Structures are given as structure tokens and as C-alpha cells.
Amino acid sequence: MKKYIVFLLSFGLVGTGQTFAQNNTKTLSECLQIAMDSNLSIAIAHEGVAFSLEKSREASSITRPKVFAAFDYRLYGNLPTQLLPADAFGGPSGVYKEAEFGVPHVLNLNVQANYPLYNPAARAGVSVAKLAPLTAELQVQKTREETAFTVSATYYQAQVAANQVLFLEGNIWSLARLAENMRLLKEQLLAKGTDVDKIVLQHDLLLAQLAAAQAGYEQAVNALKFQMGWSPESTLVVPAEPDSIAINAGSGSPADLLLLQQQQQTIRAETKTARAARLPVVSLYGFYGYNGFGKAGDNSFFKEFPLSYIGMQASVPIYDGGLTRSKLNQKAIEQKRASQQEQLLREKYALDLQNAEINIRANRKVLMAQGANIRLAERLFDQAQTQLREGVASIADVLQSENTLREAQNNYLSALVKLRISELERLRAAGLLPME
């Protein structure tokens, strides 16, 4: 039995204490900064910005001049044949004679240019495309907000698990010492063997809970490393000391609201594009080139003839079957729906902010009360052990006081989690989650 107790003491001192070595310990602010720089979801959102910029440049190219060069060379094995009326050459009426036209070698070289002089629909489309990068930037902000929330929540979860491990380590240490004292009392015939067994049984139960708490801590740390963009093999330690999130780095408005406002601006631009479809389109075009004709063999020759012209083309929409009217009606409905969604989301965030404030005040009071309960339970546990050594209390009283202490510790940790999550909810509703 003595060897078993010594093993328990050494396990409590060494085995669990290694969990929170001060190797690569990171604060919440450091974890957030790493996540902002390395999180893959944020990197993907940034690629969306780059993609939308290229799409905007593509749309802008529609309003610019276009120039094309063309080369065409043909070698005819059989020249094109046409039927001609014989009476055109003094022959009988109603009779046709076949004739070959052209030469075997034909070469065309030319340059063509087109410039959209007036295309209101295309220009309106460019305005819509220029809004896409702004929307993509807001999507990046939303992703960063979501990442800040999840990283902070996971960090707090790891901190709570770390505190739970520390609480259990302290309880295991106390029970190990109590078991050693009971063993000495048993040797002096002042205690029963069953009393020692009860303490060892309680000790084993706490060891199982400690293993579960350590596993929960490791799982939270692994999830945190994933959210930070770190590899699973990297080392990360979350300290048990309380840490709070910075509240002065956010934008002041949730990204969801900003996205809805941007969506309404895009719908207004798309409405202008739909209206512009009723306007005429005018373009200038030009052509300059050479046509070459020749033949090989006897009497070979090759002659070139220049060809050039400029022109103007106009297209005026007269009737499109109600297509434009339908598009305008759709945009009006989208605009109204987006406005209603913005109002609904504002009311939701106002409610979330109010509820978060209520929860913070309540959880702070609960946390203070549970902290006092822990101190009281610790005193009662110490008193029960002292009374047990004096023969005034039973082993059942000691185990009951230890259960009360553990319950107070669990209640404290539960209140701590609720307080931290409420603080995060308040920052999210206020648009103050840190993103730098």
C-alpha cells in the first residue's frame, strides 16, 4: 500500500505538471495575430479579393478599343465556278455557260479596329464590376471576425480545461496525503482498512477525471492550432491564467451589416445597368488591308490592291419583349428585401448586445459567488481532514467535503466559460472583435 501511495504522489507531482510546461506559451492576443496571418480561410478570402479585381479589369476592357490583325492565304486547286447566261455574250437565250473566276493564289492582309463610342449598358456594367472588390474585402472582414470569435472561444475553452486540470491536481494531491496519513493511522490501529480503501477509490476516480480533463485540454489546443494555421505537430501551450480579448481593434460595425449595405449599393448599380439597356449603342470601326492575287507557271504574276474604310454603327433597342421591365422589377424586389434584411439584422444585433450585457453582469456575480464557494469549500475540506485526524469526523465527512469542493470548482469553471462567451457575443454584436 505504501508503494502505491508513493506512486500516486509522484503521479500528481510529475505526470500532470508536465502538461502546462512554459514551452511556447501564447497569449490570446498572440494567437489572434497568428490566426490573422496564417488562417487558411482568411487566405482564401484574400484570393477572392484578387479574383474580383481581375474580374473588374475584365469588365473595364469592354469599353476600350479593340484591334485585330488578320492574315489569309489561299491556294486554289480548282477555281470557283459560276454559271453565266449565254445571251449576255450573244448566245442563245435560256442557255448558261460555266466560267471559272479568280486566280490560284489569293492573299489577304488587314487590320481591323472597333471602338465603342457610346455604350451606356457596358459602362454601367463596369460600375457594377468595380463594386465586387469592395464586397470581397468585406467578405475578408467577415471571415476575420468569424476567425477571431472561434479562436477566442477555443482559447477560453483550453484555459478552462487547464484550470480544471489544476483543480484536480490539487484535489489528488490532498487525497494522496490523506491516504498516507490514514495508512499511518491504520498501522497504529486508529483507522480501518476500509477507510484507506475509500480514499484510494476516490483518488482513482479523480485520476480518471484528470485524464479526461487533460484530453479535453489537448483537444482544445489542437483545435486552436488548426484555427491558427499551425501544423498539428507544433507545440502550443495555453496558460491557465485568465486572459481577456482586446476590444479596440474592430471596425465598429459587424461585417454582416456592412455586406448588406454593400449589396444594396450593388443592386442600385445593377438597376442602372438594366435601365441603360434601353439606350442606343454607337460604335466606330475601321478597316485597312491588302488583297493580293496571282498565279504561278507561265505568265506568272502577283498584284496587290489596298482596301480601307471607316464607319459608324448604331443599334437602337425598340422592343425587347418586356425583358428590361422584368429585370427592373426584379431589382426593385431585391432592393426591398435587402433593406428589410438589414433592418432585421440590426434589430438582432441590438438584441444580442442587450442580452450579452445582461449575461455578463449575471455571470460576473455568479463567478464571484462561486469563487467564494471554492474558498469556503477548501476551508471545510481542510477542517474535515483535521477533524478526521483528531477522531472527531469520519472518512465519509472528508469525502463529502471533497465532493463539495469539486462541485464548487466545476460551478466556477462553468460560470467562467459563460462569462467569456458572453463577452465574445457582446464584442461580435458591437462589431469590435479584433482583426489585427
For residue 229, being part of any structural domain is answered with yes
What is the amino acid identity at position 283? S
Closest CA to 415 of 354, 374, 355: 374
Tens digit of pLDDT at every position of the chain (436 positions): 333 333 333 333 333 344 444 568 898 889 999 999 999 999 999 999 999 999 999 988 988 999 999 999 999 888 888 888 887 777 788 888 888 888 889 999 999 999 999 999 999 999 999 999 999 999 999 999 999 999 999 999 999 899 889 888 888 887 777 777 667 656 555 456 566 677 778 888 889 989 999 999 999 999 999 999 999 999 999 988 776 655 444 557 889 999 999 999 999 999 999 999 999 999 999 999 999 998 888 888 889 999 999 999 999 999 988 999 999 999 999 999 999 999 999 999 999 999 999 999 998 999 899 889 889 988 888 888 788 777 777 777 878 888 888 888 888 888 888 888 898 889 888 888 866 5
H/E element holding 57? helix 40-60
* Number of domains the chain is built from: 1
What counts of helices (H) and strands (E) characterise the chain?
8, 6
pTM: 0.77
Domain assignment present for residue 85? The answer is no
Residue 99 in domain: no
Residue 397: inside a domain, yes or no? Answer: yes
CATH code, domain with 417: 1.20.1600.10
Q: Sheet with 105-118: list strands edge to edge.
A: 66-75, 105-118, 281-295, 301-315
Q: Give the separation between CA 229 and CA 144, rounded to whole angstroms.
A: 13
Asked whether residue 113 is domain-assigned, the answer is no
**Residue 319 included in any domain:** no
What digits encode the pLDDT tens for the residues 176-223?
777 776 676 565 554 565 666 777 788 888 899 899 999 999 999 999
Grid look-up 504561278 returns: 296
Q: Does the residue 305 lie in any domain?
A: no
User: Tell me, what's the pLDDT at 1?
Assistant: 36
Q: Please state, in angstroms and rounded to a whole number, the distance separating the CA atoms of residues 129 and 132.
A: 5
Q: Look at residues 269, 324, 308 and name the one whose alpha carbon lies nearest to residue 130.
A: 269
Does 197 map to a domain? yes
The 3-class SS string of 289-332 reads: EEEEEEECCCCCEEEEEEEEEEEEEEECCCCCCCHHHHHHHHHH
Range of the domain at 154: 2-68+120-279+324-430
How many Cβ atoms sit within 10 Å of the Cβ of residue 302?
12
pLDDT score recorded for residue 102: 84
